Amino acid sequence: MVNQAIQEYLEAHAWQIEKITQGIDAADRGELVEHDQVIQEIDALIEQQAKHKRENSLD
């Protein structure tokens, strides 16, 4: 029963495990993103979502 639960969990989260593995591999190759760039991208995504919500709330 425990093995089945673990197997189902791994299957459901396989895409996350793959992305994490890809990220670790990229970091090992020195392919890193500067902190400031990450913050800029996150801020842009937050602003994009806020704008989308504002536009849809006018309907």
pLDDT, one tens digit per residue, over 7-55 is 999 899 999 999 999 999 999 999 999 999 999 999 999 999 999 988 8
| pTM assigned to the model | 0.53
Q: Containing domain of residue 51, as a range?
A: 2-57
Q: 26 with 18: CB under 8 angstroms? A: no
Alpha helices in the chain (DSSP H): 2-12, 14-28, 35-57
* Domains identified in the chain, total number: 1
d(CA 13, CA 57): 34
| Angle of the 2-12 helix axis to the 14-28 helix axis, nearest 10 | 60
What tokens does 46 get?
């937050």
The per-residue pLDDT for 47 is 97
